[in-house]
């Protein structure tokens, strides 16, 4: 099979110019997690235009969409793209930049941007679907094209499972034999990075409310200042990684937001911290969570807080660990097709994903890889906008083509005819 990847793609891959325009449409029209209604509608519209042979299922776990391509006996392969965007004001300067705002789930108006490349993921999977539809003579089996909502919240994959994704009495999507996914990254455009074992970290996020006693800025002795308490907590939390976890393990703890008060001469009565931790060892993750509780509660006691702090979990992502047999099979195919553009010794990322749940929920193996989106001159510049940056802007080509080809090659690894 590996010797024919190039001929199959050359014969059946569609003209990608319309897909470049489709990518720009998705980039210009992002939607926040759990609100991807128009994105899902556009995906469904495109799938219906591709072929009446696709069995399309909608509104799974919110705005999830699945298209099933049945093509004879054989394995069932799941290909997944995530569809949500981020509350970021875009600063790329692109002609097709997003100027969109939306109310989030809390009713706050936020700017919206595809700052994590999910627009590339959607478009790559749609083009891969067209390729595989045209290439049905080259494979035998079933392919599931899964467009998953709410990845950024870590809830979309589980929501699809809980909504009966694989339940024969609900959405009746066939249980896959293998699940495959990918992510665009700020690495060399056209390059594919794969890795055996742990490929992305687990993540846990918390909202922490510190209760003080409000008052006049001139009389701090009559108040209990939650801003000062929150500041102590932020500094102390940094010692969890530096002084309480094994130095040979990679762990990250970030306080991404502090919210308190509205003006300079009023001491607020509460402060809110939003923090995120990343880990690759479940025992260490449990220890770090307990340490967060210990430190926050101790600082509040030391500062005479009138009410204990409220520590609320907000999101949770599992560890993403690639199945060995699946990964080795795909790596062999990638090397055959991409040659030296495939790096089989990629580095694990401390970013996190919920993709693996689509496989682990039914005891099936999965593999996740990265494809690059930046030219060498940007990588050499020392100023490389990472995912979740307001200037994140992978080049359209060869990024899109690489994403399409990778999905097709990976799928054919398991269902391609000899």
Tokens 């627009």: give the residue. 119
C-alpha span between 232 and 179 (Å, rounded): 44
Over the Cα atoms of the chain, what is R_g? 23
Catalytic site positions: 84, 151
Q: Helix, strand, or coil here: 183?
A: strand
- Going 136 to 141 to 142 to 143, the CA torsion angle's sign is negative
CB 368 within 8 A of CB 354: no
Phi then psi dihedrals of residue 215, to 5 deg: 180, -175
Encode 347-383: b = buried (16+ Cβ within 10 Å), e = exposed: ebbebbbbbbbbbbbeebbbbbbbbbbbbeebeeeee
CB 356 within 8 A of CB 366: yes
H/E stretch holding 139 reads none
Tokens matching residue 229: 């308490």
Give bridge partners of residue 266 from the DSSP assignment: 216
C-alpha span between 418 and 416 (Å, rounded): 6
165: nearest Cα among 77, 236, 62: 62
**What own/partner pairs with CB < 8 Å and gap ≥ 24 does 252-258 have?**
252/201, 252/276, 252/277, 252/278, 252/279, 252/350, 253/277, 253/278, 253/288, 253/292, 258/227, 258/230, 258/234
121: nearest Cα among 179, 77, 184, 209: 184
Helix, strand, coil share of the chain (percent; to 5) = 35, 30, 35
C-alpha span between 357 and 161 (Å, rounded): 8
68: nearest Cα among 164, 142, 179: 142
Tokens 């569809």: give the residue. 83
């Amino acid at each position: 099979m590996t010797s024919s990847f190039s001929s199959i793609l050359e014969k059946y891959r569609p003209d990608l110019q319309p897909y470049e325009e489709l990518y720009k449409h998705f980039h210009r029209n992002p939607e926040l997690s759990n609100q991807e209604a128009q994105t899902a509608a556009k995906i469904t519209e495109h799938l219906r235009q591709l072929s009446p042979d696709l069995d399309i299922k909608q509104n799974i776990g919110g705005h999830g969409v699945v298209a099933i391509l049945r093509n004879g006996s054989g394995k069932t392969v799941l290909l997944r793209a995530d569809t949500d965007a981020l509350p970021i004001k875009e600063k790329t300067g692109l002609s097709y930049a997003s100027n969109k705002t939306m109310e989030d789930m809390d009713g706050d108006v936020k700017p919206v941007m595809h700052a994590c490349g999910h627009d590339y993921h959607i478009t790559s999977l749609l083009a891969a679907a067209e390729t595989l539809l045209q290439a049905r003579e080259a494979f035998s089996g079933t392919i599931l094209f899964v467009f998953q909502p709410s990845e950024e919240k870590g809830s979309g994959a589980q929501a699809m499972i809980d909504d009966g994704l694989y339940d024969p009495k609900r959405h009746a999507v066939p249980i896959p034999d293998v699940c495959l996914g990918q992510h665009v990254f700020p690495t060399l455009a056209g390059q594919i990075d794969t890795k055996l074992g742990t490929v992305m970290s687990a993540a846990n996020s918390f909202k922490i409310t510190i209760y003080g006693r409000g008052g006049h800025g001139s009389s701090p002795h009559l108040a209990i200042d939650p801003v000062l308490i929150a500041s102590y907590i932020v500094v102390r939390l940094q010692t969890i990684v530096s002084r309480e976890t094994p130095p040979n393990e990679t762990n990250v703890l970030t306080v991404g937001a502090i919210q308190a008060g509205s003006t300079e001469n009023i001491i607020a009565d509460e402060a809110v911290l939003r923090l995120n931790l990343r880990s690759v060892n479940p025992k260490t993750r449990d220890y770090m969570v307990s340490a967060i509780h210990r430190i926050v509660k101790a600082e509040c006691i030391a500062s005479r807080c009138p009410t204990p702090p409220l520590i609320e979990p907000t999101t949770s992502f599992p560890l993403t660990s690639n199945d060995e047999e699946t990964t080795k099979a795909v790596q062999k195919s990638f090397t055959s097709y991409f040659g030296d553009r495939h790096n089989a010794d990629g580095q694990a990322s401390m970013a996190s994903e919920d993709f693996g749940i689509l496989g682990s929920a039914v005891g099936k193996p999965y593999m996740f890889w990265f494809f690059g989106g930046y030219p060498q001159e940007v990588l050499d510049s020392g100023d490389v906008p990472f995912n979740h940056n307001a200037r994140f802007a992978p080049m359209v080509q060869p990024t899109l083509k690489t994403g399409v080809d990778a999905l097709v090659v990976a799928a054919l690894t398991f269902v391609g005819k000899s």
